[in-house]
Amino acid sequence: MSSIRALADDLAARSDDELRALFAARPDLCLPPVPDFSALAARACTRVSLQRALEKLSRPELELMETVVLASDVDRGTAVDAQGLAPLLVPVARSPRSPAPLLQRLHALGLLVRRDGQPPAAEPAENNDGGTRLPAYLPLAGLVEVLGPYPAGMGRTHRTLAGLNPQTGSRLAAVADSLRRAGHALPAPTGNEPDADMPSAAAPAEDGKAIAARAAAGQAAASAEHGQAAAAAIEHWLGQPGVWSTLLAAAPAKTPELLERFRSSPVGAVPQAMRTVDAAAPDLQPVPWLLAHGLLVPLDETHVELPRAVGLLLRGGAVANPWHTHPPEAAGPADMRPVRPAIRDNAAFAAVAETLRLVAELLAVAADAPVATLRAGGVGVREVKRVADALHVDAADAGWLLELTAAAGLLVLDVDTSRWTVHGAEAYAALDRPLQWQLLATAWLELGRAPALVASGPGSTPGSASAGAAGPPPGAGRAASSNTPINVLAAEASRPDAPAVRRRLLAALAELAAPPSAPEPAAGTVPAPSAGFVIAYLSWQSPRLQRRFERLVPGMLEEAARLGLLGSGALTELGLLLAEDPAAAAAVLDEKLPAPLSHFMLQADLTAVAPGYLEPSVARELQLLSNAEGRGPAAVHRFSADSIRTALDAGRDAAAILDFLTRHSATGVPQPLRYLVEDTAARHGTVRVGSAVSYLRSEDAELLDDLLADPRAAGLGLRRLAPTV
């Protein structure tokens, strides 16, 4: 019975609650709706749907799934049950675990089907003799392809490798013959060795080419059969009691260490892999010895594979050894360090205040000069440096701020000018700081981009290195990747999966911060996991997404810290609440952030010092009157004739400037500053420079008088500059 038909029958026998649970775990199965169970089963068996389902499996579930695929045979209908799988799974010593509950979960997810003739109920049935019969399962046929040729890091069988190409089959046949000559007890050959002689008889109508072709086909078939027989003989020999230990005892030095390199990755690179080696030859090196004894099988001239039988022997006869039934534990302060809550909160709220300040400054910079883009897309390095210099931050911080403000809709791309312009800045500035933070934080949470990828290049992370040397197995395609750096706000940084990864990250941090995941913290401290430990924990939850986590999570942790979701590496109350209730997180921030100040301190050296965050209206007016020096919420502002003149050009007068300074200064207005304002205002406007579009000139002054007096010329706005002009 095909997997689709078996799964359709299985789904049809499920209750409504079981189907709801399936659709909740695999929503792609019900969107769009399907007409019947056959269509539902067909969709569940597609490669894309199976990949999505596997991505949601935890590490113990995935290891069990791989073990089921290796231990069963879909084509022959050979199913496995919990009892048969138990020897293939070696749980961590801390807490042995039965595979039965996880088998039921994999079945509930539609990844396994029960063998024909078994009841749909999850409970064990009874045999005819009254004994307990555990449910036996078969994986969906598509899982074999989705999991790839090396499930659980195990190689293919000797017989599968023998059928890859004639050269590999011939080499295995030669290895089997060599092992027999060396005295090893391999089963006798079947007698179907290929015959090199040409057949003696042929139909009279056949010409020489036809005879040769038929002979070559027969010889190839016999050679393939001989290779399969040799592979079966080697597998049988390796499975005999005592053979493995005897082989290792007689192996050259460092052979066990070399085999250990193939424990999790069965393919390696070896020069002259197709060489002929006699098993009885003395003083063999480890690689030739392994080739001579069939423990490594050549795939081509440069690649070898560790067969499945040898991989099982390396793992003590188990597929999952160990079977990671529990999440990783922190090994010490390097994985999880204690942080005092006060230090955590101070760091988080300081980061929030700094981010809000920099966003406000960025909007002011972009309002004066919109951010230009490159023809190829994104913001160029030179433009990012201009923004960074204006904000007194480095280029990486400037790129992050541009990405954040664009995500919040405060910067929008003008398609006519190809520049990022300010949008809604006045409405944003009118918001209280907690609401400003909520806008930015929720925009980051739902951002379908990965700002941390900017300038790093979009190439995928390296895959697991094969043992022996670099290089993929033959026939494996290489994903095209580019090491070209990604520009700020370029399309290459788009990652539709980023919002889901951020939510999983915040959920994982919450789990790590709460017992029993977190170790017992020191009194009055909270745990702060390292980036590596967070990635390890997430990879245990979803091992097939490990490369994605390694690529995205470090940058997301830094971004979360800048938004106050982390403080000194520890999850804050803001981070705990953001994903579920952003308004509640903003309310917490409103309680914790100090109230904005309406005063500053004026000093005799023509400077003003803001002791904290100023009210937006006060800060804007102070920035108009002075030039900021330094960074941070307590930055120093310096007054000068040029800065006062800028305010006068904007429509202020001396009385208004002094009134503002008097109302908001906690120390009064120093006399030098008062003199500077009054003197600059007195000289302001005495000489003005303007422009004229055109002029009239005549030697007849009376004619010009008549022209100015003519009502018809009133709309021209003529002014007398000289008697004749």
Let me know whether 119 and 191 are in one domain: no
Assess whether 287 and 420 both reside in one domain.
no
175 with 128, same domain: the answer is: no
pLDDT at residue 205 in the model: 47
- Flag whether 466 is in a domain: no
Write down the residue that tokens 């209750």 correspond to: 15
How many folded domains does the chain comprise? 4
Mean pLDDT, residues 221-231: 80
* 3-state SS track over 86-152: HHHEEECCCCCCCCHHHHHHHHHCCCEEECCCCCCCCCCEECCCCCEECCEEEECHHHHHHCCCCHH
Helix/strand/coil percentages in the chain, nearest 5: 50, 10, 40
Q: Is residue 673 part of a domain?
A: yes
As separate numbers, helices (DSSP H) first and strands (DSSP E) second, the chain gives 30, 21
The pLDDT value given to residue 619: 85
Per-residue pLDDT reduced to its tens digit, 473-496 = 444 443 334 567 899 999 999 999
Q: Is the pLDDT of residue 194 over 60?
A: no
Q: Is residue 476 part of a domain?
A: no
Mean per-residue pLDDT, 121-148: 74
Which pLDDT score, from 0 to 100, does residue 630 have?
A: 66
Residue 342 has pLDDT above 50, yes or no: yes
The mean predicted confidence, pLDDT, of the chain is 87
Clarify whether residues 384 and 367 are in a common domain.
yes
- Enumerate the β-bridge partners of residue 420: 371, 413
| Residue whose pair of structure tokens reads 């999440």 in the numeric block | 327
Q: Output the pLDDT for position 506.
A: 97
Task: Note the pLDDT of residue 629.
Answer: 81
- The pLDDT confidence band at residue 124, using thresholds 50, 70 and 90, is low
pLDDT score recorded for residue 478: 36
Question: Does position 128 have pLDDT exceeding 70, yes or no?
Answer: no
Strands of 533-670, DSSP E: 566-567, 570-571, 601-603, 607-609, 627-629, 636-638
**Lowest mean pLDDT segment, chosen from 76-85, 425-434, 601-610, 678-687:** 678-687
Same domain? 515 vs 654: no
Nearest in space to 614 (alpha carbons), one of 630, 595, 628, 629:
595
Residues 57 and 124 in one domain: yes
Does 588 have pLDDT greater than 90? yes
Q: Residue 272 above 50 pLDDT?
A: yes
Q: How many CB atoms lie within 10 A of CB 423?
A: 18
Span 290-315, mean pLDDT? 95
Within a domain: 233: yes
Q: Do residue 288 and residue 430 come from a single domain?
A: no
At residue 193, the pLDDT reads 47
The vertex-405 CA angle with 393 and 455, nearest 5°, equals 55
The predicted pLDDT at position 94 comes to: 61
Spell 290-308 as b/e; 16+ CB within 10 A means b. Answer: bbbbbbbbbbeebbbbbbb
- Half-sphere exposure (Cβ direction) of 322: Cα atoms closer than 13 Å: 12
**59 lies in the same domain as 174:** no
Q: Which residue has the higher pLDDT, 690 or 607?
A: 607
Same domain, 581 and 440: yes
Q: Are residues 126 and 166 in the same domain?
A: no
Could you tell me how many residues make up the chain? 725
Residue 340 included in any domain: yes
Is there a domain that residue 234 lies in?
Answer: yes
Chain position carrying tokens 């971004």 = 559
pLDDT at 270: 92
Q: Is 416 part of any domain?
A: yes
Distance in angstroms (rounded) separating the CA atoms of residues 315 and 90: 10
Query: Confidence class of residue 639 from pLDDT cuts 50, 70 and 90?
Result: very high
> What tokens appear for 285 in the block?
């090196």
Domain boundary among 538, 563, 592: 592
**Final residue before a domain boundary, out of 592, 624, 653:** 592
* Range in 153-157, 260-264, 457-461 with the lowest mean pLDDT: 457-461
535's tokens: 């990635």
In a domain, 676, yes or no: yes
Higher per-residue confidence, 690 vs 585: 585
Residue-level pLDDT at 220: 54
Greatest CA separation found in the chain?
132
> How confident is residue 157, by pLDDT bands cut at 50, 70 and 90?
very high
Nearest by Cα to 8 from 139, 113, 78 = 113
pLDDT band (50, 70, 90) for residue 517:
low
Query: In this structure, are 523 and 608 located in the same domain?
Result: no
Statement to judge: residues 137 and 165 lie in one domain: no
Q: What is the pLDDT of residue 631?
A: 63
Q: What is the pLDDT of residue 471?
A: 41
* Domain finish residue from 545, 563, 592: 592
Determine the structural domain holding residue 607 and report its residue range: 601-683
